[in-house]
Amino acid sequence: MGPTMVNPSGPSQKTGPISFISQESSAMSSDLKLEAEIGRNHGSRASRRLRRDDKIPAVVYGQGSEPLAVTLDRPKFRAALNAAGPNAVITLDVNGSDYLTIVKNMQRDPIANRVTHVDFMLIDIDQRLVVDVPITLVGDAALVRQEGAVVQQQMMTVTVEAPAGNIPQIFEVDVSEMSIDNPIRVSDLEMGSGVVAQVEDDSLIAIGQRSRASIAAEEAEGEESDELAEGEELAEGEEAADGAGESDEGAGEDSQAD
């Protein structure tokens, strides 16, 4: 899902042990600039010619302006996204005029997985946007492993509302303290200034899930313990019966002696 503009609203903040990487810690919006050219021809044939020249057709629109068709240099565009992430605020330099934008949508070739077209949305730096932020797991889940379980990531991205100039580029989730009874939830994320999650606080991000083999081994161990306990009870019952029989025989012999 591409960024969505929202009406200004009061920010709410949450804190937690999990960090995010904002544009302030990578590339500020005013510093991330990408050159674009205008005057390209339209149509599929012209677009194919551009792609052969390692160019990407794109369009800039929003804020009531007419859509502007532009051309990007593929290596430079790829470098910009690698440096600041898919939610980066990019200043497009179009023939000397600057346009503050964010990538709204990228079309890709389904086979080569190469970007074939980019939609840029015009924004204001203080404008609030709704975006999907990737989540990555870091650290060693030693407690989960000791419990015979593995970490399973339930949520790959989280939707947030944030100012355009402070959009988290990624959430890094440390799993070193998590356990089966202590999963990672959205409420554990440190959202940052003005960033608000658009999902429930108790939504699960990562859990400790026991494997089938671990569960089967525990069940087998439990069955063995039950069988052992039943065997001990049976043995005690037989010993008690043997003791009672010996007592009866002794009592009979005493009676005959009398």
Whether this model's pTM surpasses 0.85: no
Which CATH number applies to 30-124?
A: 2.40.240.10
pLDDT for 83 equals 83
Delimit the domains of the chain by residue range. 1-26+126-210, 30-124, 211-247
Which superfamily, per CATH, for 1-26+126-210? Ribosomal protein L25, C-terminal domain (2.170.120.20)
Mean pLDDT for 220-225 is 63
| Tokens 């440190």 -> residue | 190
Same fold, 1-26+126-210 and 30-124: no
Dump pLDDT digits (tens) for 56-72. 999 999 988 899 999 99
Cα-based distances in Å from 132 to 53, 59, 154:
32, 21, 15
Q: Which residues contact 71 (CB under 8 A, 6 or more apart)?
A: 36, 37, 38, 40, 50, 55, 56, 57, 58
Dump pLDDT digits (tens) for 135-184. 999 999 999 999 989 999 999 999 999 999 889 989 999 999 999 999 99
